[in-house]
A and B are shown apart, each in its own frame.
Chain A
């Protein structure tokens, strides 16, 4: 058994996949650290001035009305009277152009450039915090979508301004309880053009007339929804824009002198009405500023900006309203809104351009310093440049202000230049896809999938080869990686590890594929026409068509949303195909013996009619069980917000939240019963195959650790479900129990897994008195142990195997000495591989269940049953008489589909809000100090089903042997001896095929999972401008990728456990038969 070869090949493969995923995700998801500090009035000390509070000064505007028209593209806002036949979206907002030309001192219209991703939620974050939000804003608010970073709304609240909000309910999620008054309307239904807008219009004017507001935010969604539904070039868009024109007019009429009106779009749209990407059509929105009193010095001057970046609104509004600029803003004040130096002296003190710039610069610099001390993703060289620039500017400014001199005319422009360069640096770091990395990641992943497929097809040849097979690719990886690093060091002075990894992985994969091709060529030449080609016919075979469909389904947002049901549907389709196929091949129903055609399609003449019938009925029974499990498991699903009319499973909420005590008791009993049934079934199986007779660590784990673990879990549930105030006297005890019970369970779990690892052998050897062994029917006497009926022992204990081996060994030396045969029985030898693996799975399952809500015990029971049903179906469907352990595609595909199915059926969804954060507090009710442990717990909870199916994957290899179906098929050639139940010992007879089959099985599993990852990577890359990319595809990609990583790790653990058992079995044989070579 070439364990190391198998392991190293698998490791290499996983590493290649990981590098690909890392590269792609690194290029696709831009991560920014959230700085949870807020600005305060004291920060905004004006230079030279006495330490007066900045916020006390009278602001330029007392009130502001912000009308956000979602997806108001700049093209919609422009007006060109020359156009005689305008398109439906052109010239529909004449009010803006009229005002700008009629009252140039009071209004401006600018193109307003958003930063990608141009989706509404990210944009709202952008123009309230002044920062550049990325997909993953690392902070501590994963659980809710509320903005914790410093923002305009927060600052306004701090200053006692009354913020009234109406419109898109996204705001309500982002700023919960921050508004003085809030009128949110549902924004989810894209088909609905009017609900939000009409809702706003009902309240907007009445609110404006009243006096209980300082800031009024109204977010209209009609234009955006119209774009999504009809596209911009549609009469509906004309109607909508005309309506908006009327709204702006009426709002302008009602404005007072101390009020500023801001009309803005949060992003643009493409010609098809979509947004989310980074093309200019999507990023360029409109910004219209108006005040009844003059704010601008005159008509637009030469030096006014052509385009206003979206972040610039934040510092401008903040300074105009007299509040501190939010801490993380990287925007730059809009200079035309501030008077130049000369006009400062007046009754009301207004910030001059230079002062505003200086306040802004100081704030940006402070943010930059804080951010760079927390994170190192800003390149150090640009950081030091910026620092130097700031030092220079600050000394210039303070010098000139301190001396009372008029500042040099260049100072303002150099301050602006500084602010621009900070923003550009940040944008380069945070807000841009990295297409090169994405492409490299895709390429590495493609080759990894290819290598995986090749490996699974050539597993026999690869395991036969000397271990040098992997030396080449690894050496190539290291060489190329180091070479790229050296080139980078010479050319650029620093090393980017990502590219070294990419180059190494790519070179290694290429070399592996080339060698595999060379390896394969002789075989191809020999076989001639028998080359297995991936023809259309093979692709249409359901075992490959179903994973293809599954991968294709990841490219559509609807299918991702309904993934749980889609996966179940595919699973059932493939499962029902199994008996159909068997029937087609004539294995399902015993054909009536045909005198004319004796050989025919009959599987083997040895098969009796009754045996076939029994096998078939058990197959159909298992299929029924599988179908039932799958259907019942549908009732444990959670709900995505995109799924309308869906109620999450009642089992998902923890027991402690249930009010009705009777219901609570019912659920509790149900959970405990299903936990008990799972544990009992496991034990029964082990008992049945005689594995409990031994006295090793594994048997101990099965006999004591598993039940104890279940008891701990049951008690823990009971304790955590007690109402808070129910047992006041026992409060202390309950607190201790909440801490101790899960920890004890974790310790037990660790102990059990450790025991299995240390002593995986579950064989009980009994030596008999030699003379009495010669009973006539060769049936040795059995020791009745642990309550097994002698009948079961007769069928499943494997005493003869050892005798057979012994005899074949001794035939040469002591031929004919019949009595010299030692009388040794080995209990549980037939399931020596699968027993520890199964127990490992079981223990792990109970441990993972502990991290879930109690009701999920039922789902875990279903998982166990479905696993068993799948294994049985697989074993029963394996009818090839020349079968040598290799597992076909169909069961592997079923296995991976079941893993995805139970990911959903344990209440998980590929969205961030659905992560079960409660898992981090099981056993740690008071929270954690670090982040590693809670992250591990949450990962274990989220990918529980992936973990169980990955660890249990080698069972697919063992089950047909364990079941020994079709009456000793495959051992026909052994004559009389073939009647023995050999079971898993056949693996020891053919170690070469064993390792080949193990490698093939694991690579096939990795391939199916890898193909899914590849497909969701493709979805993210192709659909990166899709409306749903940040809501559906990006989270799906992250979950798929992390699920893959976790699955790979646990698959490796499972395979290693099998190899560990193999080593232990080898040692055991050596001890029994010292002269045996193996």
Chain B
């Protein structure tokens, strides 16, 4: 199934790269550059999503009206990621070009998005978040995590859980974008995990309130991932080989 996907790409020559040749290296640079610029666009959207409401909405602050910030950032990241990946043509091409198939794909994507929100919500609760009180906050965090991680999976791999699971294995990455996906998702989740650490401290800071530290951690982790991914790929481009078919 996978090789079908890759053969039908619009620019198949970029993707078929059994050996790194001089020609391929140029392609590499091209791809890395594309990645870096798309990442900077996403980062800029995060920045704008923080700054614009601060200008437009009176009384807006990241801590005070945290949920507002959270949703504005989530929406911005979601919109920008989807459009950037669509424009770049990273999104896996569809098998059939019928409208019905496309619609069903869209529907499945939305369903997966929602299921992923529920999944993150459950995981966060299992990690010790309160079950009933502040459920809205917990769910908002789940939405943020979903739009930072699952949405990217949806964009890069399509609504295909099998492929998602496979990407997160040592030999699972099949393109630079898969490696990039691995890095950003790992950074985001580790960031959110680390964000839970200051909560028990008795410092009484506004960012210790649930879920501010976790969502900030996830956001910082995500931004770090955006920076690290192209850099890492750039410095390891000699070692990276992708099994492609």
List chain A positions with a Cβ less than 8 A from chain B.
191, 556-559, 561-562, 565-566, 568-569, 572-573, 580, 583-586, 588-589, 591, 596-597, 600-601, 627, 630-631, 634
Q: Cα distance A369–B200 when bound, in Å?
A: 50
B interface with A by C-beta (< 8 Å): 125-128, 162, 165-166, 168-172, 193, 196, 200-202, 204, 243, 245
**Contact of A573 with B200 in the complex, beta carbons under 8 Å:** no
Q: Are B170 and A586 in contact (CB under 8 A)?
A: yes
Enumerate 21 A-B pairs (CB-CB under 8 Å) in ascending A order.
A191-B204, A559-B200, A559-B201, A561-B200, A562-B200, A568-B128, A572-B126, A583-B169, A585-B169, A585-B170, A586-B170, A586-B171, A588-B169, A591-B166, A596-B245, A600-B171, A601-B170, A601-B171, A627-B126, A630-B126, A631-B125
- A631 vs B122: C-alpha distance when bound (angstroms): 11
CB distance A558 to B171 under 8 Å? no
Residues of A within 8 A of B196 (CB): 569
Interface centre among A557, A584, A588 (most CB of B within 10 A): A584
A600 proximity list for chain B (CB < 8 A): 171
Query: Who on chain A is nearest to B202 by CB?
Result: A558
Closest 6 A/B residue pairs (Cβ): A562-B200, A558-B201, A558-B200, A586-B169, A558-B202, A627-B126
Say whether B165 contacts A565, CB under 8 Å.
no
User: With the chains together, A1053 CA to B78 CA distance in Å?
Assistant: 58
Given contacts A586-B172, A588-B165, A601-B171, 10 further A-B contacts (CB under 8 A): A558-B202, A561-B200, A562-B200, A573-B127, A580-B168, A583-B168, A584-B169, A586-B169, A589-B165, A589-B166
Evaluate whether A583 and B165 lie within 8 angstroms (CB atoms) in the complex, with A572-B127, A600-B171 already known.
Answer: yes
Residues of chain B within 8 A of A596, CB atoms compared: 245
A561 to B165, CA, bound (A): 38
Identify the closest chain A residue to B125 (Cβ).
Answer: A631
Q: Smallest CB-CB separation from A627: which chain B residue?
A: B126
Residue of B nearest to A560 (CB): B200
Q: Which residue of B lies closest to A562 (CB)?
A: B200
CB–CB A565/B168 < 8 A = no
Are A556 and B201 in contact (CB-based, < 8 A)?
Answer: yes
Contacts of B162 in A (CB 8 A): 589
Known contacts A572-B126, A589-B165, A627-B126; A565 and B171 CB within 8 A of each other: no
Alpha-carbon gap, A569 to B128, bound state (A): 7
Q: Say which residue of A191, A569, A585 sits within 8 Å of B127 (CB atoms).
A: A569
A585 to B196, CA, bound (A): 28
B204 to chain A: which residues have CB within 8 Å? 191
Q: Which residues of chain B come closer than 8 Å to A601, judged between CB atoms?
A: 169-171
User: B193: nearest residue on chain A (CB-CB)?
Assistant: A573
CB distance from A556 to the nearest CB of B (A): 7
How far does the alpha carbon of A109 sit from the alpha carbon of B170 in the complex, in Å? 75
A572 to B162, CA, bound (A): 24
* Contact of B126 with A584 in the complex, beta carbons under 8 Å: no
Identify the closest chain A residue to B162 (Cβ). Answer: A589
Report the Cα distance A449→B193, complex, angstroms. Answer: 29
Interfacial chain B residues near A589, Cβ < 8 Å:
162, 165-166, 169
Taking CB atoms, residues of chain B closer than 8 Å to A585 are 169-170
Closest to B182 in A: A584
- A residues near B169, Cβ cutoff 8 Å: 583-586, 588-589, 601
Question: How close is B122's CB to chain A, nearest CB, in angstroms?
Answer: 9
| Other-chain residue from A573, A584, A634 in contact with B170 (beta carbon distance below 8 A) | A584
Q: Kindly provide the distance from the CB of B173 to the nearest chain A CB, expressed in whole angstroms.
A: 11
CA separation between A74 and B34, bound complex, in Å? 69
- Alpha-carbon separation in the docked complex, A191 to B172 (Å): 53
Given contacts A586-B169, A601-B171, contact A634 B126 (CB under 8 A): no
| A557, B128: Cα distance in complex, Å | 19
Give the chain A neighbours of B168 by CB distance below 8 A: 580, 583-584
Distance, CA A580 to CA B189, complexed state (A): 12
Q: What B residues does A566 contact at CB under 8 A?
A: 200
Set of chain B residues within 8 Å of A580, measured between Cβ atoms: 168
B210 nearest CB across to chain A (Å): 13
B2 — nearest CB in chain A belongs to which residue? A592
* Complex alpha-carbon distance, A573 and B204, angstroms: 26
> In the bound complex, what is the Cα–Cα distance between A585 and B171 (angstroms)?
8
